[in-house]
């Protein structure tokens, strides 16, 4: 059985029903919980008066982070804002996607700077076939000519050798001369076609000072020095040694009389790091500290931002950390951790933006609480009191959706002799935290908004007829598992995991299950206090350890309960799909409809300013952003599900005003908020949002300045009635398209063989016959991939064309989703130009995905503007 084979290299511990409930981890605050000593707080020191230079922002580059146009979404790319990416050359054979010229436009449009081309990825094998330097040069020239034809050719950087310390030139004693000669030939070939091209190197798999000194000495003497120096830092121990490597390299440069040259660590992190905020912050800190760029390694799938992207357009906890990092501005300042250059310990970085009067600290890497000791708070910038907000992003799995990180602590603090201490809660080594310090204003003091939550490791519960599996791995090769263990082998009728919870109030709670499957759709039954509540369906994941997260609502009364996931429901054993690996169960209180507030004063601006001195307005418009005509402010909102949301903001205008709305680079027709006179206003536009992250731009399109407050997003389920869903099998099929039974399809069947002449035509619903802006949601499945690479999953993106009768054709990508019959809902924009033209789905250039259903929703439901009193 594949499950057993996949786990054969891990340590397993048999657990039977003999375990009793007393073996559960104590629940803090519960009647039976043993008193535990409070952990000692660690101190992170931040000196705002000690600048370490301008913020660079280059640490979150990515290797093969972009797969195809639209995969991942531009919203995710722009929010993360990688400065550099590395991709395969035009027509490269190493991977089926990730062509540099195909994905470059998505990067450049999202604020990225450079695309590195791994030119040896023209070869199909890993490691690369060694067919001689002449063969390589013959394959290189067409790459150069294609890039030379682009007007933006100088934004491409050439990685002419990748890990030559073990590929082609491993034995330095016998192959040094060959490498240096080959480097010269390739270098000069690139420059002959692209005289201004930048070349990086040597790009070795680790820091090799002896080889590097030989290389630089030769390169200087022969006028073939790289423009950017590169090497890889892939071991977890790089967290101990990188800074020493950096210092050694800079000293080497100086001794050789070259540089200082820019550095890019073109591969860093391992599987245990990607997607995990508490791990990533340690890497980001040391790269930003040394003002170098870096690219996270490619371990899983191309097009998922090195494991920070969920599906095509959703974010996990790691993405939110990278977004926080991209939001930084101003100068970095001195940060002192308790154990610098020590693996898996508290680390952090901080910036001071004097223009915005804002200090930001990012930290993580420890389970202990942290005292952030801030000094150097200039009274002219911050005044005598400051507002402090502490937000938390934690690990949600590789394929686990995470919303806007909550504020877990907030206060108004008196500044004493330029100093404050910020208390950051502990208990979560996988989390990272953002601390924002701003001058106190007239508005009420900031408040925490994090809901009550508790986490329960599956292996710490009552495990019956299953196994606890040790997934820990000091080498970093395995994917992260919460707590280092999970529960697997849930493969017989009596398998179950039970945890005990103690909830504070009667109401609705969201149960989030971190899990993995072996590439299939899973099912388990949910029981509360031995009463069957639901049978859960788990979307497929890449493998047993590549965690997804499934959220489901649960009604609970105040007090203690036993929550159990089982392989049998009341009607019997669920069979093979029940063999789902369970990692952790999270319980979160739900107190109201989904509601999130985004502080525009923390957001990115094109022009405009944060004016913390508008005292007369701050009572009406707190946390103000001032936009003069033509200015804009950009934020990134997150929706838990596809549906309608009310986006609201307040503003003050000195005369007639017009506030424009753009979603995902799509100017919203009918979404403008306009006023006919001066005053304070509240405006709301209810729009259909895709699940996941959407870039929202508010622009001043009037003639007078606007002073904006926060943006609020509230779920409006009543408006969902405007969307109309159609089962694919009810449409008209053409060509080879055919229906097929599907266990996981909503109507019991789906449509396959779309594309290559196979089509599905759906009539426009009567309620949606008008031309206009719509969102199209397609429930799809497709698992096409190449199978030759030793560790990358060479997933292939399929496309679906929506052709409007009498109108145009819109193409949307559908990413590999691990299975042919488990369906994901994916939403894309669709602008229709006719009244009533039917929609035909197909693919003129290949096969499309299998389709369960399609849904059409008007982009805008309502718009309103009212005076603020």
**Residue 613: what pLDDT?**
57
Instruction: Tell me whether the omega of the peptide bond preceding residue 868 falls within 30 degrees of 0, making it cis.
Output: no
Contact 169, 181 (CB under 8 A): no
Task: Give the separation between CA 214 and CA 212, rounded to whole angstroms.
Answer: 5
The confidence band for 526, taking pLDDT boundaries of 50, 70 and 90, is: very high
Task: Give the separation between CA 50 and CA 286, rounded to whole angstroms.
Answer: 17
CA nearest neighbour of 763 among 719, 717, 732: 732
Question: What pLDDT digit, counting tens, does each position of 388-445 carry?
Answer: 999 999 999 999 999 999 999 999 999 999 999 999 999 999 999 999 999 997 778 9
The two structure tokens encoding residue 421: 């201490």
Task: Give the separation between CA 219 and CA 216, rounded to whole angstroms.
Answer: 5
Dihedral pair phi/psi, residue 612, rounded to 5°: -80, 5
Q: Which residue has the higher pLDDT, 9 or 260?
A: 260
**Residue 27: what pLDDT?**
32
**Residue 855: what pLDDT?**
98
Task: Give the separation between CA 58 and CA 293, rounded to whole angstroms.
Answer: 4
Longest alpha-carbon distance in the chain: 81
Question: What pLDDT digit, counting tens, does each position of 646-680 carry?
Answer: 999 999 998 999 999 999 999 999 889 999 999 99
In this structure, the number of other CB atoms found within 10 A of the CB of residue 360 comes to 24
pLDDT at 6 over 70: no
Please report, for residues 316, 453, 466, the alpha-carbon distance to residue 509 in angstroms, rounded to integers and kept in the order given: 20, 9, 27
**Residue 36: what pLDDT?**
62
The confidence band for 19, taking pLDDT boundaries of 50, 70 and 90, is: very low
Interval 617-629 mean pLDDT: 76
The two structure tokens encoding residue 671: 């979404």
Interval 135-154 mean pLDDT: 98
The confidence band for 17, taking pLDDT boundaries of 50, 70 and 90, is: very low
Q: What stretch of H or E contains 456?
A: strand 453-457
Q: What is the dihedral of CA 300, 79, 402, 68, to 10 degrees?
A: -40
**Residue 32: what pLDDT?**
36
* Orientation of helix 100-109 relative to helix 133-148, angle to 10°: 40
CA nearest neighbour of 690 among 13, 267, 72, 15: 72
Vertex 397: Cα angle to 396 and 403 (nearest 5)? 35
Q: What stretch of H or E contains 857?
A: strand 850-858
Contact 762, 739 (CB under 8 A): no
Query: Average pLDDT of the chain?
Result: 94
Task: Give the separation between CA 156 and CA 22, rounded to whole angstroms.
Answer: 60
The confidence band for 618, taking pLDDT boundaries of 50, 70 and 90, is: low
Question: What pLDDT digit, counting tens, does each position of 278-309 carry?
Answer: 999 999 999 999 999 999 999 999 999 999 99
Task: Give the separation between CA 43 and CA 148, rounded to whole angstroms.
Answer: 52
Instruction: Tell me whether the omega of the peptide bond preceding residue 725 falls within 30 degrees of 0, making it cis.
Output: no
Dihedral pair phi/psi, residue 189, rounded to 5°: -65, -45
Share of the chain above pLDDT 70, in %: 95
DSSP SS3 for 869: coil
pLDDT at 822 over 60: yes
Strands 724-727 and 420-424: unpaired
Task: Give the separation between CA 119 and CA 137, rounded to whole angstroms.
Answer: 10
What b/e readout covers 308-340, taking b as 16+ CB neighbours within 10 angstroms? bbbbbbbbbbbbbbbbbbbbbbbbbbbbebeee
The per-residue DSSP string of 720-762 comes to: GGG-EEEEGGGSEEETT-EEEE-TTSTTSEEEE--BTTBEEEE
What b/e readout covers 428-456, taking b as 16+ CB neighbours within 10 angstroms? bbbbbbbbbbbbbbeeeebeeebeeebbb
pLDDT at 35 over 90: no
Question: What pLDDT digit, counting tens, does each position of 482-506 carry?
Answer: 999 999 999 999 999 999 999 999 9
Phi-psi region of 283 (alpha: psi -120 to 50; beta: other; left: phi over 0): alpha
**Residue 252: what pLDDT?**
98
Burial environment of residue 745 by CB neighbours within 10 A (0 to 12, 13 to 18, 19 or more): buried
Q: What stretch of H or E contains 310?
A: strand 309-310
Task: Give the separation between CA 19 and CA 257, rounded to whole angstroms.
Answer: 67
Of 128-132, 164-168, 172-176, 476-480, give the lowest mean pLDDT range. 476-480
Task: Give the separation between CA 206 and CA 804, rounded to whole angstroms.
Answer: 53
Interval 586-602 mean pLDDT: 94
DSSP SS3 for 433: strand
Question: What pLDDT digit, counting tens, does each position of 566-587 carry?
Answer: 999 999 999 999 999 999 999 9
Task: Give the separation between CA 552 and CA 587, rounded to whole angstroms.
Answer: 10
CA nearest neighbour of 696 among 778, 765, 640, 634: 634
What b/e readout covers 788-805, taking b as 16+ CB neighbours within 10 angstroms? eeeebbbbbbbbbbbbbe
Interval 765-772 mean pLDDT: 95
pLDDT at 743 over 90: yes
For residue 178, the Cα-to-chain-centroid distance in whole angstroms is 42
Task: Give the separation between CA 346 and CA 40, rounded to whole angstroms.
Answer: 13
**Residue 441: what pLDDT?**
78
Contact 580, 486 (CB under 8 A): no
pLDDT at 839 over 70: yes
pLDDT at 620 over 70: no
**Residue 209: what pLDDT?**
98
Vertex 503: Cα angle to 498 and 508 (nearest 5)? 95
Dihedral pair phi/psi, residue 105, rounded to 5°: -60, -35
SS3 content of the chain, % helix, strand, coil (to 5): 20, 40, 40
pLDDT at 23 over 80: no
Task: Give the separation between CA 206 and CA 352, rounded to whole angstroms.
Answer: 34
Sign of the torsion formed by the C-alpha atoms of 662, 663, 669 and 673: negative
Residues 6+ apart with CB under 8 A from 591: 451, 507
The confidence band for 5, taking pLDDT boundaries of 50, 70 and 90, is: very low
Question: What pLDDT digit, counting tens, does each position of 337-394 carry?
Answer: 999 999 999 999 999 999 999 999 999 999 999 999 999 999 999 999 999 999 999 9
pLDDT at 18 over 60: no
- Kindly report the pTM of this predicted structure: 0.95
Of 259-263, 443-447, 567-571, 859-863, give the lowest mean pLDDT range. 443-447
Residue count of the chain: 869
């Amino acid at each position: 059985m594949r499950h057993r084979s996949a786990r054969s290299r891990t340590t397993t511990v048999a657990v039977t029903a003999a375990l009793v409930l007393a073996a559960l981890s104590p629940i803090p605050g519960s009647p039976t919980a043993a008193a535990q000593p409070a952990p000692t707080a660690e101190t992170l020191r931040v000196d705002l008066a000690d600048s370490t230079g301008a913020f660079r922002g280059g640490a979150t580059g990515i290797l093969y982070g972009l797969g195809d146009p639209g995969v991942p979404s531009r919203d995710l790319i722009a929010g993360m804002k990688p400065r550099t990416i590395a991709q395969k050359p035009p027509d490269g054979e190493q991977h089926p996607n990730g062509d540099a010229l195909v994905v470059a436009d998505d990067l450049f449009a999202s604020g990225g700077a450079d695309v590195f081309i791994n030119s040896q990825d023209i070869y199909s094998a890993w490691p690369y076939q060694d067919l001689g330097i002449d063969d390589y040069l013959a394959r290189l020239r067409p790459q150069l000519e294609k890039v030379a034809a682009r007007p933006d050719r100088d934004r491409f950087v050439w990685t002419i050798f990748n890990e030559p310390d073990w590929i082609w030139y491993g034995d330095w004693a016998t192959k040094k001369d060959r490498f240096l000669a080959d480097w010269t030939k390739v270098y000069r070939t690139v420059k002959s076609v692209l005289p201004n091209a930048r070349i990086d190197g040597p790009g070795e798999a680790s820091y090799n000072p002896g080889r590097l000194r030989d290389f630089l000495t030769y390169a200087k003497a022969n006028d073939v020095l790289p423009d950017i120096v590169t090497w890889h830092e892939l071991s977890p121990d790089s967290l101990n040694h990188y800074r020493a490597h950096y210092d050694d390299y800079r000293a080497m440069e100086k001794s050789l009389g070259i540089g200082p040259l820019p550095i890019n660590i073109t591969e860093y992190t391992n599987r245990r790091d990607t997607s995990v905020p508490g791990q990533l912050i340690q890497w980001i800190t040391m790269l930003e500290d040394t003002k170098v760029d870096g690219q996270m390694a490619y371990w899983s799938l191309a097009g998922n931002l090195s494991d920070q992207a969920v599906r095509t357009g959703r974010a996990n906890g790691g993405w939110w950390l990278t977004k926080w990092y991209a939001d930084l501005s101003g100068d970095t300042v001195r940060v002192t951790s308790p154990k610098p250059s020590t693996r898996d310990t508290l680390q952090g970085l901080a910036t001071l933006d004097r223009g915005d009067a804002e200090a930001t600290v990012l930290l993580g890497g420890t389970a202990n609480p942290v005292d952030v000791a801030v000094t150097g708070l200039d009274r002219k910038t911050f005044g005598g009191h400051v507002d402090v907000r502490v937000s938390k992003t934690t690990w949600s799995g590789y394929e686990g959706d995470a919303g806007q990180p909550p504020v877990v602590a907030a206060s108004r603090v008196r500044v004493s002799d330029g100093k404050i201490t910020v208390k950051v809660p502990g208990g979560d080594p996988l989390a990272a935290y953002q601390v924002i310090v701003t001058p106190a204003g007239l508005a009420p003091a900031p408040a925490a908004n994090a809901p009550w939550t508790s986490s329960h490791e599956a292996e710490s519960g009552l495990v019956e007829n299953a196994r606890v599996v040790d997934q820990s791995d000091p080498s970093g090769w395995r994917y992260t598992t919460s707590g280092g263990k999970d529960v697997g082998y849930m493969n017989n009728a009596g398998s179950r995991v039970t945890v005990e919870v103690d909830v504070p109030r009667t109401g609705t709670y969201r149960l989030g299950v971190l899990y993995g499957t072996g590439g299939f759709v899973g099912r388990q039954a949910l029981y509360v206090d031995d009463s069957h509540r639901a049978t859960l369906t788990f979307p497929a994941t890449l493998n047993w350890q590549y965690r997804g997260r499934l959220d489901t609502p649960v009604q609970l009364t105040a007090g203690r309960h036993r929550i159990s996931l089982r392989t049998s429901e009341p009607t019997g054993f669920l069979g093979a799909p029940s063999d789902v690996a369970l990692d952790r169960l999270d319980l979160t209180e739900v107190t109201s409809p989904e509601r999130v507030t985004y502080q525009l004063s923390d957001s990115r601006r094109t022009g405009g300013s944060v004016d913390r001195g508008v005292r007369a307005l701050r009572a009406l418009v707190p946390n103000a952003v001032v936009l003069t005509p033509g200015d804009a402010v950009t934020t990134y909102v997150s929706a838990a599900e596809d549906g309608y949301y009310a986006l609201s903001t307040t503003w003050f205008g000195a005369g007639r005003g017009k506030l424009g709305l753009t979603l995902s680079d799509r100017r919203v027709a009918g979404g403008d908020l306009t006023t006919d006179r001066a005053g304070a206003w509240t405006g709301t536009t209810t729009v259909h949002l895709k699940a996941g992250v959407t870039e929202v731009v508010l622009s001043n399109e009037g003639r007078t300045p606007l002073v904006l407050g926060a943006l609020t997003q509230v779920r409006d389920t009543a408006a969902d009635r405007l969307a109309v869903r159609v089962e694919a099998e009810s449409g008209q099929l053409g060509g080879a398209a055919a229906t097929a039974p599907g266990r996981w399809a909503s109507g019991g069947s789906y449509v396959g063989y779309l594309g290559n002449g196979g089509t599905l035509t759906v009539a426009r619903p009567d309620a949606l016959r008008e031309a206009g802006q719509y969102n199209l949601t397609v429930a799809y499945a497709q698992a096409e991939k190449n199978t030759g690479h030793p560790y990358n999953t060479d997933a292939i993106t399929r496309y679906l064309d929506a052709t409007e009768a009498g109108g145009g054709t819109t193409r949307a990508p559908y990413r590999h989703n691990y299975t042919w019959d488990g369906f994901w809902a994916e939403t894309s924009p669709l602008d229709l130009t006719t009244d009533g033209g039917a929609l035909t789905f197909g693919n003129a250039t290949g096969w499309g995905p299998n389709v369960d259903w399609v849904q059409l929703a008007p982009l805008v439901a309502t718009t309103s503007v009212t005076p603020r009193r």
